[in-house]
């Protein structure tokens, strides 16, 4: 499956819309994500902060966890929208890598414009992936 220009913009728009629901009383940095699975389903997420800062959860991970909880584990693309087109954190990159290095990652800004496009593999080169845990029964 190839993602079209229109689908990319739709994901940016959905992530930007989701961003309005972010709970960010501490950073005031709302993030929205929209994830399209290989089956065409779309899941959104927002960052949710917590007074105990380490318990904060990122928008990207929420979208991915929602998809996985609904039985989806193969992803086509994820759009991440911030005011300034910010990039996913390292933790989100690792979670994305768990489900496919070829997933397209779209960065968007608060104006709803695509600012950068890449893949998970480019965001996290030499990623630690499930295959690294394979047991070698020969040795």
Q: In which band, very low, low, confident or very high, does the pLDDT at 2 lie, cut at 50, 70 and 90?
A: confident
Query: 79: which strand partners?
Result: 34, 106
Residue 118 lies in a domain: yes
Residue 64 lies in a domain: yes
Residue 42 lies in a domain: yes
Residue 96 lies in a domain: yes
Q: How many domains does the chain have?
A: 1
pLDDT mean across residues, the chain: 95
Residue 138 lies in a domain: no
Q: What is the DSSP annotation of 44-111? A: EEE-B--SSGGG-B-HHHHHHHHHHHTT---EEEEEEE-TT-PPPPHHHHHHHHHT-TT-EEEEE-TT
Q: What is the pLDDT of residue 134?
A: 82
Residue 20 lies in a domain: yes
- Residues with a known catalytic role: 60
Could you read off the pLDDT of 60-87 as tens digits, one per residue? 999 999 999 999 999 999 999 999 999 9
Could you read off the pLDDT of 112-136 as tens digits, one per residue? 999 999 999 999 999 999 999 987 6
Token pair for residue 40? Answer: 């065409």
Other Cβ atoms less than 10 A from the Cβ of 15: the count is: 30
Averaged pLDDT, 10-30:
98
Q: What is the pLDDT of residue 1?
A: 58
| Residue found by looking up tokens 């728009």 in the block | 13
Residue 139 lies in a domain: no
Whether residue 41 contacts residue 12, with contact meaning beta carbons closer than 8 Å, is answered with no
Averaged pLDDT, 11-21:
98
Whether residue 96 contacts residue 105, with contact meaning beta carbons closer than 8 Å, is answered with yes
Please give the residue range of the domain that contains residue 44: 5-133
pTM for this model (two decimals): 0.94
Q: Tell me the three state secondary structure of residue 16.
A: helix
Averaged pLDDT, 3-19:
97
From the list 70, 72, 74, the residue with the least C-alpha distance to 104 is 74
Q: Tell me 23's DSSP state.
A: B
Residue 51 lies in a domain: yes
Averaged pLDDT, 5-21:
98
Q: In which band, very low, low, confident or very high, does the pLDDT at 18 lie, cut at 50, 70 and 90?
A: very high
Q: What is the pLDDT of residue 80?
A: 98
Q: What is the pLDDT of residue 138?
A: 55
Name the helix (H) or strand (E) containing 123: helix 120-123
Residue 74, domain CATH: 3.40.140.10
């Amino acid at each position: 499956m190839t993602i079209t220009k229109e689908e990319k913009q739709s994901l940016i728009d959905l992530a930007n819309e989701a961003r309005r629901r972010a709970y960010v009383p501490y950073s005031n940095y709302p993030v929205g994500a929209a994830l399209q699975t290989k089956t065409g389903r779309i899941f959104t997420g927002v960052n949710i902060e917590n007074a105990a800062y380490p318990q904060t959860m990122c928008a990207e991970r929420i979208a991915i966890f929602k998809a996985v909880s609904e039985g989806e584990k193969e992803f086509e693309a994820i759009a991440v929208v911030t005011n300034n087109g910010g990039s996913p954190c390292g933790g989100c990159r690792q979670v994305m890598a768990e489900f496919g290095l070829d997933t397209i990652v779209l960065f968007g800004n608060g104006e709803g414009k695509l600012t950068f496009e890449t893949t998970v593999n480019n965001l996290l080169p030499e990623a630690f992936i499930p295959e690294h845990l394979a047991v070698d029964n020969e040795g």
